[in-house]
Amino acid sequence: MENASKALIMAAEILLGVMIISIGVYLFNTLGSYSSETTSQIEDAQIAQFNDQFLKYYGTSGGETIKCTIHTIVGLANLAQRINTENGFTEIEPISDNSYYIQIDLKVGATTIKNIEALTQDELINLIKENDVMTDDEGSASTKLFICDEEPGIGKNTRRVNYMKFVEI
């Protein structure tokens, strides 16, 4: 009788130990998946915030196509240049699904200026001077406007904007 009660106590201890280990494994898996989901949500929010810096100049707002000035485009080119420098790019990189390089192109009339993000500050100032104001046949001046006429490029793997092209309207 004494051995039987000791055996039952030992069995209960083993069962209790297995239950505690099972609960630990369950909590570990649950908290691990929660942590993974939270990390994924934070990463998605960071990518969306990054892309919003560029995508706010594409599409429509209130039924009207979003228009911007050369100053806005040069500001965007400066942002792209800063991001490219922070990512270690010293040369122009081809657009790809894996690249973090950002390219900004501008079409003025029949001329396409590629990689304005790689222009020097003096070249950007000249670009502003040449494309800030237009005059009509009567001599009245107005600000030139541009639109992003193509869907911005977004890397499939990076999920970040990597290309935008603006066209004079």
Q: Residue 4: what pLDDT?
A: 83
Residues 137 and 64 both lie in one domain = yes
pLDDT for 35 equals 80
Domain boundary among the residues 16, 32, 52 is at 52
> What total of structural domains would you count in the chain?
2
Q: What are phi and psi of 163, to 5 degrees?
A: -160, 135
pLDDT tens per residue across span 12-66:
999 999 999 999 999 888 887 888 888 889 999 999 999 999 999 998 888 899 9
Q: Is 139 left (phi over 0), alpha (psi -120 to 50) or beta?
A: left
Residue that is last in its domain, among 52, 76, 94: 52
pLDDT bin (cut points 50, 70, 90) of residue 140 is confident
Q: Which residues are paired to 130 by β-bridges?
A: none
Domain that residue 162 falls in = 56-168
Are residue 77 and residue 155 in the same domain, yes or no?
A: yes
**Between residues 6 and 83, the one the model is more confident about:** 83
Q: Is the pLDDT of residue 1 over 70?
A: no
Q: What is the DSSP letter of 142?
A: E
Q: Where are the beta strands (DSSP E) in 11-145?
A: 60-61, 64-65, 103-108, 111-113, 133-135, 141-143
Same domain, 63 and 43: no
